[in-house]
Amino acid sequence: MKKLLTFCLIFISTILFSQKYAEVALTPPMGWNSWNKFACNINETIVKEVADAMVTSGMKDAGYEYIVIDDCWQIDRDSIGNIIIDPDRFPSGMKSLADYIHSKGLKFGIYSDAGIKTCQGRPGSRGYEFQDARTYAAWEVDYLKYDWCYHGKQNPEASYSLMRDALALAGRPIVFSICEWGSNKPWLWAKDIGHLWRTTEDILNCWDCKEDWGGMGWPLILDKQDGLEKYAGPGHWNDPDMLEVGNSGLTFIESKAHFSLWCMLAAPLMAGNDLRNMSEETRDILTNKEVIAIDQDALGKQGFKIIDEGDFEIWKKPLINGDIAICLFNRGKKTIEKEIIWDELNISKNFEIRDLWMKKNIGKTNNNFKTEIVSHSVVMLRLSLKKL
């Protein structure tokens, strides 16, 4: 009888809690994360000022909502296992910071690790999953990025499921961002565990540099996304990593191409620059609502490559109501001149064409489209069946 009761209890709690919150990421999450620009040099003043800038720059109006503190906010655990916040960098504590961010109409995100330590050697959540999840819920956290350093022999699916269950049991809807770098093909197992999963090692602030440990520039990350489109959809997204738009290693043109292709991929759009000091050009990239609409399209389809001629690629993304996004990408060093014959791309004559960076309607698909694409740039188009 006792055994039966225990079995029933386990069964009921499995049904109740082994589910992620379904409604929190029906479109790819949008926000800002501290890592790409600040790494460990983060503190509550910067985070508050970035939250202010997210509102005053127009980013909030463009759809960005999460302010996420990455690694290095935690220093230790107390005698009963509670995580200790770095008192020098975050003297007011996380609840107060969450209140500030919420008062701006934004949401608050935090970072931990499934192993015993974070990638910067701070305490990880291994063995403290339920305690940490309760703490995050008490702080009113809305987003958790959960890394994969110091995992030893842990099984990734089990480790991420455990934190998903802990978050569910803590009772607060929290976006769960899986960051295990694609090492164990999370697209095959993470759909019901997290809302997004990293597909590669870290993005770097450069065009196509590559580090031995796996970090790379965004065009190299892009190459690894093609073929993963079938695994993404509302509530479960491939994550090609946070944006480097506006950071020093990319030209304006390269940042624009990076943003365009991330939107083609239905990627989570987590800005990684200093929002407090961004140039007008960077702000115009990050807040182009028509390009963002491609990313956030309700159909939730990830774009894919339909033409690959080496330096020249065409990416396509199906959109709601039969519309289509097309991105022409020149990865080479010289300007490319192209004449697009729509028929050859299996695109009918009935579409109106809008150039999303020029913000101009440029004709219909009943005519061929001649264009020049300068080195490292894109031409991004929305083909629409409705009159534009």
Mask: binding to ligand GLA, 192-221, rule CB under 6 A, as x and -?
A: ----------x-------------------
Count of residues of this chain found to bind ligand GLA when the rule CB under 6 A is applied: 10
Q: Is 147 a catalytic residue?
A: yes
269 contacts 62 by C-beta, under 8 angstroms: no
Question: Where in 69-88 is the site for ligand GLA (CB under 6 A)?
Answer: 70-71
Which tokens belong to 277?
A: 């000091």
The CA distance from 370 to 337, in Å, is 8
Q: What are phi and psi of 290, to 5 degrees?
A: -70, -30
Write the DSSP string, 283-331: HHHHT-HHHHHHHT-TT-PPPEEEEE-SSEEEEEEE-GGG-EEEEEEE-
CB of 181 to ligand GLA, least distance (A): 6
Distance of CA 143 to the CA centre of its chain: 12
CB of 111 to ligand GLA, least distance (A): 6
According to the binding rule CB under 6 A, does residue 239 interact with ligand GLA?
A: no
Catalytic residue among 71, 113, 132, 147: 147
* Of positions 114, 119, 166, 293, contacts ligand GLA by CB under 6 A: 119
Match 């987003």 to its residue by tokens.
143
Instruction: State the burial class of residue 306 (Cβ atoms within 10 Å of its Cβ: 0-12, 13-18, 19+).
Output: middle
The CA distance from 285 to 288, in Å, is 6
According to the binding rule CB under 6 A, does residue 66 interact with ligand GLA?
A: no
* Of positions 44, 65, 132, 147, contacts ligand GLA by CB under 6 A: 147
Strands 360-364 and 324-330 come out as unpaired
Q: Is 202 a catalytic residue?
A: yes
The CA distance from 39 to 36, in Å, is 6
According to the binding rule CB under 6 A, does residue 313 interact with ligand GLA?
A: no
CB of 50 to ligand GLA, least distance (A): 17
Residue nearest to ligand GLA (CB): 119
Residue with smaller CB distance to ligand GLA, 25 or 68 = 68
Of the candidates 126, 138, 147, 17, the one whose C-alpha atom is nearest the C-alpha of residue 81 is: 126
- Segment contacting ligand GLA (CB under 6 A): 118-126, 133-141, 245-253, 261-269? 118-126
Give the type of residue at 107.
K
According to the binding rule CB under 6 A, does residue 38 interact with ligand GLA?
A: no
- Could you say which DSSP state residue 27 is in? S
According to the binding rule CB under 6 A, does residue 179 interact with ligand GLA?
A: yes
Question: Where in 351-380 is the site for ligand GLA (CB under 6 A)?
Answer: none
* Of positions 20, 28, 35, 222, contacts ligand GLA by CB under 6 A: 35
Q: At what angle do helices 93-103 and 44-56 cross, to 10 degrees?
A: 10
Q: So which residues are the catalytic ones?
A: 147, 202
Which residues here bind ligand GLA, judged by CB under 6 A?
Answer: 35, 70-71, 118-120, 147, 179, 181, 202
